[in-house]
Amino acid sequence: MVRTGRRGLTRTTVLGAILVLFGISLSVVALAWIDPAASAALGVATLGRVNLSVRTSLAIIGFLCCLGGAPAFPPKLHRFARFTLVPAALLAVLAMLIAAASGRSLDLVGVMKASLRMSTPIALGVLAGIWCERSAVINIAIEGMMLSSAAFGFGFFLWSGNIWLGVLAAILTGGVMALLHAVLSITFKTDQIISGTAINILAVGASGFLRRAYLVKAYFVGETLPIVRIPFLSKIPVIGTLFFEHQPIVYCMIILLIATHIILFYTRWGLRTRAVGEHPLAADTVGINVIRTRYINVIIGGLIAGLAGAWFSLETVGSFEDLMTRGKGFIALAAMIFGNWNPFGGFLGSLLFASADAIQIKLEIIGVTIPPQFFDMTPYIVTMIVLAGLIGRTTPPAADGKPYEKQ
């Protein structure tokens, strides 16, 4: 995938240039302007805390970023650039954290744990997207599926009194919305992006209607799904708190991640799905029922999106607010493209986008005031940048978006 000998302005060169410039300016700013006495304390959960001199650490990181970006320039070193750019970018993020935490103490493990937690809805959205798109049905209605599931799941919880039934209701709502999308896209062969948009609008209307008609009258419940600590594993020093001390849907996400990967690439169903997505005509000739496969996959995707909706209202907030999904469904699509339509790649993408949110929250907690709108914007800007950098390097399923006519 790396083209040796490619001349001119490539993406690697641009990224390398950005890193080098960033590194230089960082070091200069650090050495010239930052108070030598300023220090930030970075904690690693129970292991302890490290007091860093902001000035020195930023200067060092600046230098390392330059080093990391440099291999992008001479063509012979392009091969190494691939390995140095990513760590350098991570260091840049670390630098921003240190700068923001100056004079205060920031728990790194806390940031990572929050990132994992907040990546759950996006990762679930990615999985939902993968199930649909791998069988060649574009699904931009993930946002709408999440929103309506959040609303109806919460509503059912209020009505039944049982939060787990609420989760079930949310999952089923996602499935129903997906069924609608499937009918419109597969049977009526509507343009899939338009039917997806219609479902998003329907979700806004239906969830808002439900909220004003029924949910507002209920008391603010505030009950959320309990945190489940896995018996032995959660006692392990750092990894324990990071991975084994979460609410149920986070665990579901990880399980579904692995399950999707296994099913998609190691089972017959997955093979059929991918065949339908790449070359439906060939699949049909071999005897696979293209329409039925697509229907089932889209509905499964909807069920997963429904679980994501439950995360919003039942696991995180404890009630339903208008438009509470706030574009996470669309970010999930970007993460899916980032991951090249693979579950683990998409998960990495969701972590990327979620960490912007997580960092903002943790910084707010320790008292750093950045205008909320700026941090709010970050996931969306990052999405655009990442997307711009990746198109052309990613391959969607070949038949993505084309309705299938039974021959």
Which CB atom, from 17 or from 198, has the smaller least distance to another protein? 198
| Smallest gap from residue 340 Cβ to another protein (A) | 12
| Smallest gap from residue 362 Cβ to another protein (A) | 20
Q: Annotate each residue in 386-405 with x if it binds another protein (CB under 8 A) or - if it does not, as one string.
A: -xx--xx--xx---xxx---
Closest by CA position to 228, among listed 247, 251, 255:
247
CA 325/CA 334 separation, integer angstroms: 15
| Smallest gap from residue 345 Cβ to another protein (A) | 16
Q: Which of residues 212, 229, 235, 292 is near another protein by CB under 8 A?
A: 212
Altogether, the residues listed in the chain come to a count of 407
Does position 194 interact with another protein (CB under 8 A)? The reply is yes
Bridging pattern class, strands 245-246 and 48-53: unpaired
| Smallest gap from residue 304 Cβ to another protein (A) | 20
Pick out residues in 325-364 that bind another protein (CB under 8 A): 327, 330, 333-334, 337
Does position 195 interact with another protein (CB under 8 A)? The reply is yes
CA 273/CA 279 separation, integer angstroms: 10
Q: Which of residues 4, 371, 406, 407 is near another protein by CB under 8 A?
A: 371
Helix (H) or strand (E) holding 270: helix 268-278
Quick check: helix, strand or coil at residue 361? helix
Does position 281 interact with another protein (CB under 8 A)? The reply is no
| Smallest gap from residue 382 Cβ to another protein (A) | 9
Which CB atom, from 13 or from 57, has the smaller least distance to another protein? 13
Does position 373 interact with another protein (CB under 8 A)? The reply is yes
CA 355/CA 292 separation, integer angstroms: 38
Q: Is 310 exposed, middle or buried (0-12, 13-18, 19+ CB in 10 A)?
A: buried
Does position 179 interact with another protein (CB under 8 A)? The reply is no
Bridging pattern class, strands 245-246 and 228-229: antiparallel
Which residues does 234 contact at the CB level (< 8 Å), separation at least 6?
240, 241, 244, 245
DSSP character at residue 42: E
Does position 303 interact with another protein (CB under 8 A)? The reply is no
Instruction: Kindly indicate which of the ranges 49-57, 66-74, 93-101, 203-211 contains the residues binding another protein, using the contact rule CB under 8 A.
Output: 203-211
Does position 377 interact with another protein (CB under 8 A)? The reply is yes
Pick out residues in 84-143 that bind another protein (CB under 8 A): 138, 140
Q: SS3 letters for 143-189?
A: HHHHHHHHHHHHHHHHHHCCHHHHHHHHHHHHHHHHHHHHHHHHHCC
Q: Which residues bind another protein (CB under 8 A)?
A: 138, 140, 184, 188-191, 193-195, 197-202, 204-206, 208-209, 212-213, 327, 330, 333-334, 337, 371, 373-374, 376-377, 380-381, 383-384, 387-388, 391-392, 395-396, 400-402
